[in-house]
Amino acid sequence: MKLLHCTICGDIVKLEKTTNKCRCGSCGGHYREDGVNAIYYGPAVPIGFVNSEFVTAIEDQPEYGNGLGFGAFSIPKVCPTMVHIDIVDYIAVYDYTDGFVVDEMYDDMMEEAELQKSKSKLKNVFRDEE
């Protein structure tokens, strides 16, 4: 998981496939379609979580006592999967689907279409029997 630490406002922003910005708006970024490579702008230090350790820390959250640690690291200034660009070159990615990922929405629609098809087939069977 990649995040941005804004050096102006101190906000931590999680990167997603659509643009997320820090509280003050100085930095922001997004993941490219592959979900691995990311692009960001502004005065930010990119941060990475060790995904497997993060997931374990969430899943195995202790009831009491010490918290469960996980690995986090600053991503190098020059990193092929985390590209820093100038804000004027940055093209923001907006979510026009109100929180739904387009691919998932399409899958849901196909599922719904299959369901309707099987229902209408069922209706036809009953109609034939009448």
Question: Would you tell me which residues interact with Zn ion (CB under 5 A)?
Answer: 6, 8-9, 11, 22, 24, 26
Q: Which is nearer to Zn ion, 23 or 117 (CB)?
A: 23
Q: Which is nearer to Zn ion, 5 or 17 (CB)?
A: 5
Instruction: Please report which helix (H) or strand (E) contains residue 54, including its range.
Output: helix 51-59
Closest contact distance (angstroms) between CB of 22 and Zn ion is 3
- CB count within 10 Å of CB 118 equals 10
Task: State the first-to-last Cα distance of the chain, in angstroms, to the nearest integer.
Answer: 59
Q: Which is nearer to Zn ion, 63 or 86 (CB)?
A: 86
Closest contact distance (angstroms) between CB of 19 and Zn ion is 14
Within 13 Å and on the Cβ side, how many CA atoms surround 16? 14
The Cα–Cα gap between 37 and 79 comes to 10
Closest contact distance (angstroms) between CB of 24 and Zn ion is 3
State CA 79 to chain mean position distance: 20
Q: Which is nearer to Zn ion, 26 or 75 (CB)?
A: 26
Closest contact distance (angstroms) between CB of 74 and Zn ion is 17
